[in-house]
Structure 1
Amino acid sequence: MSTESTRRSVIVGIFVLAGILIFVAGVFVLGGQQKRFTKSIKLIAVFKDVGGLKAGNNVWFSGVKIGTVKRISFFGNAQVEVDLSVEQSSQQYIRKDASASIGSDGLIGNKIVVIAGGTTSHPEVDDGDRLKTSEALSSDQIMATLQENNNNLLRVTNDFKELVGNLKRGKGTVGAVLTDSMVAENFKKAMKNLERASDNTTKITGSVSQFAARLNTKGTLANELVTDTTVFRRLSRSAAQLENTASSASQTVGNMNKASETLTKTSENLNKASEKLNNTNSPLGVLLTDQETAKNLRTTINNLSQGSALLNQDLKAAQSNFLLRGFFKKQNKAAAKATADSIAAAKP
């Protein structure tokens, strides 16, 4: 065999050996990624929709790749059964109450199965266990939600644009405040009034605080009124006495009113009597006002006095007359007897 042929054979052998090494390395690398050479257990999850999940996609638990999807098949009424090959070393962390869901590796990456949840109060899963599943949002649902959010954002933007336009045109109360100088001036005045009211409130609060401090100062009348029960009882008694005094004063005023009414009536009667006395048509009025009548009345009274004196003289003369002397003696005896009888009857 020639040297050239030997060289060629050596080169071909080297390339073949290199290809074999590359193939073996590739098998080990792919086997390592697919967990071909590690011990694993089988878990089952049933979904309504896997959203494009394929055999060979990864299985994640708490953000760590722990296995791959081995098989996808239909199950029951339009459901999909997914067989999961999970590393046996992660079995102790996955509990029977854990749940599986379909996720994605990144925003638009490959679909993956995500195992989450599980509590230590439940035992760890066994080979062949079926996990609970939770339906995740699909990309179509996410896009529909984003589209709806975009529409809502567009409506909000349009409403805000319309609101700003109305404000610029002076529509509404806020627009009037921003564009109308008179409204703005009134608003400033209102704010000043509010500021003054706030200052007055502050002053009132300070006065109340001072009053409260005085109430809490021992030895003052205000503190004694609040804390000393003896002073309070005295004030109560004084108030009761004042109330009684007021009641008595009220009765006195009532009596005075009645007396005033009586005096008023008496004054009215006196006025009426005075009017009658001043009336020239009445006898008393004539006697009091007519001088001629009064003179005649005095003359008549004088005549009567003189007549009475003459009559007394005539009676004395008649008693001295012998014809009437016996009559008067009998009357005197009868009067003396009546007096004696009354004296005797009065004695015991």
Structure 2
Amino acid sequence: MDKAENKRAIIVGLFLAIGLVVFIVGVFTLGSQSKSFSKSIHISAVFDDVSGLKTGNSVWFSGVKVGSISKIHFIGPGQVDVRMSIDETSQQYVHRNAGVHIGSDGLIGNKIIVIDGGSPQAPVVQDGDVLLTEKLTSTDDMLKVLQQNNQNLLSITGDFKLLSRKILQGKGTVGTLMADSAVGNQFRNAMSNFERTSATAARLAANLERFSSKMNTKGGLADKMLTDTATFATIKSAANQLKQAAANTTEATNNLKTASDKFNRTDNAVGVLLNDPKAAAQIQSTLQNLQAGSIKLNDDLEAAQHNFFLKGFFKDRAKAKADSIKKANKQ
């Protein structure tokens, strides 16, 4: 074998050695990342939708990669069983009441399994356990909601555009108020009247409040009328007396009316005097005759006193009367 062939053999062997080293390093590196050379347990979770999850994707717990997805298969209609390999060193931190949901490695990264929650009081997961899944809003769901919101916003914008156009055209009550100056002035006048009415109502309420406070003042007439039974009894008695006086007045008025009615009739003496002119003239003539007769009688009596036969009688009678008066004065 010549020198050139030896050199070629050495180069080939060197390349083979380097390739073998790279292969071994790669195997250990990949094994380290997938934890192929560490002890692990297998747990699983059942999802309705795995959203593109693949075998080999990572399993995270509290922000730390603790395993990988080893198998994905259907177990029923709309049910997908995801089998996970969890590093045995992380087993003690994952509890059976922990929840499992599908997340993303970054905004648009690979899908991953995220284990979160769980309380220290619950037992630690064991090989073959099934964890409960949590339904989280996916990116598709958020996009659907966003799309629906965009449609609603577009509809609202269209309605507002149509409404604003009608307002500018003077249609509807608001449009009329904005376009018709007369209606606008009437509306302003109505608001002014409403404001004045509100002010009047406020003053009335204030006056009513002051009146009620005076009514509630201790010792006042209203307070005594409402709270003092003696005062109330006195007022009640006075009211009863006033009522009786009114009744008496009514009775007297009725009696006076009855008497007045009798005076206007001719079936009694007073009525005849007031209403019969002929009878009144007769009575007046009789009174005149009586007056004339009394005057004549006085004259006759005076003449009798000067009569010779009766003069002594009247003189003795006057003397006896004078003696009686004198005797009474002495006593």
Q: Deviations over 1:247-305 (max 9, x none)?
A: 22332232234224323422432597579724xxxxxx4x6679xxx9xxx9xxxxxxx
Which residue in 1 is equivalent to 2:234? 238
Separation of aligned partners in 1, 2:28 and 2:223: 96
Q: Provide the rounded CA distance (Å) in 2 between the counterparts of 1:5 and 1:266.
A: 177
2:67 is matched with 67
Q: Secondary structure of the equivalent of 2:219?
A: helix
Asked if 1 retains the 8 angstrom alpha-carbon contact of 2:43 and 2:128, the reply is: yes
Give the match for residue 133 of structure 1. 133
Which residue of structure 1 aligns with residue 111 of structure 2? Answer: 111
1:88 is aligned to 88
What displacement does 1:38 show? 3.8
Aligned residue in 2 for 1:277? 276
**Aligned letter for 1:149?**
N
Preserved contact between residue 46 and residue 82 of structure 1 (Cα < 8 Å) = yes
Instruction: Report sequence identity in percent.
Output: 38
Q: Are 1:41 and 2:36 counterparts?
A: no
CA, structure 1 residues 32+266, in 2 after alignment: closer, same or farther (shift >3 Å)? farther
Structure-2 change in CA distance of 1:259 and 1:23 (3 Å): farther
Larger mean CA deviation between 176-185 and 196-205 belongs to 196-205
Q: 1:254 to 1:60 in 2, by over 3 A?
A: farther
- In structure 2, what is the Cα distance between the partners aligned to 1:143 and 1:208? 63
The counterpart of 1:224, out of the listed 219, 223, 232, is 219
Q: Deviations over 1:161-192 (max 9, x none)?
A: 11211221222222222222223323333443
Give the one of 262, 266, 269 matched to 1:266.
Answer: 262
* Deviation, structure 1 residue 56: 0.8
CA distance in 1, matches of 2:24, 2:223: 102
In 1, distance between residues paired with 2:226 and 2:159? 72
SS in 2 for 1:126: coil
Hey, what does 2:54 align to over in structure 1?
Answer: 54
Task: Report which stretch shifted further, 19-28 or 64-73.
Answer: 19-28
Q: What CA deviation, in whole Å up to 9, does each residue of 1:118-158 have, x standing for no partner?
A: 33443221121011224455655554444333332222221
Give the match's secondary structure for 2:52. coil
1:248 paired with 2:247, answer no
Query: Once superposed, what is the RMSD of the aligned Cα atoms?
Result: 4.1
Q: Distance in 1 between matches of 2:183 and 2:77?
A: 71
Post-superposition shift, 1:113?
Answer: 1.9
Relative to structure 2, which stretch is displaced further, 267-276 or 244-253? 267-276
TM-score (norm 1): 0.63
Say if 1:224 and 1:231, in contact at 8 Å, map to a contact too.
no
1:38, 1:228 → 2: CA distance?
A: 99
Q: CA deviation at 1:199?
A: 4.4
Q: Secondary structure at the match of 1:262?
A: helix
From the superposition, tell whether residues 27 and 206 of structure 1 become closer, same or farther in structure 2 (CA, over 3 Å). Answer: farther
Question: Do the aligned partners of residues 47 and 171 (structure 1) sit closer, same or farther apart at CA in structure 2, a change above 3 Å counting?
Answer: same
Structure 1 residue 212: Cα displacement: 7.8
Alignment check: 8 A CA contact 2:91 2:125 kept: yes
For the structure 1 residues 54 and 230, does the alpha-carbon distance in structure 2 shift closer, same or farther, using more than 3 Å as the test?
closer
The answer to which of 6-15 and 135-144 deviates more is 6-15
Q: CA deviation at 1:5?
A: 7.6
SS in 2 for 1:81: strand
- The CA deviation at 1:107 is 4.6
Structure 2: gaps (5+ residues): 290-331
Query: For the Cα contact (< 8 Å) 1:39–1:88, is it kept in 2?
Result: yes
User: 1-side partners of 2:17 and 2:256: how far apart?
Assistant: 148
Alignment of 1:315-326 (within 5 A): none
Q: Distance in 2 between matches of 1:7 and 1:192?
A: 112
Q: Distance in 2 between matches of 1:174 and 1:230?
A: 54
Partner of 1:184: 184
Assess if the C-alpha contact under 8 Å between 2:224 and 2:231 holds in 1: no
Deviations 1:42-82 (A, max 9, x none): 11112233222110112233444322111112224453221
What CA distance in whole angstroms lies between the structure 2 residues aligned with 1:166 and 1:230?
A: 63
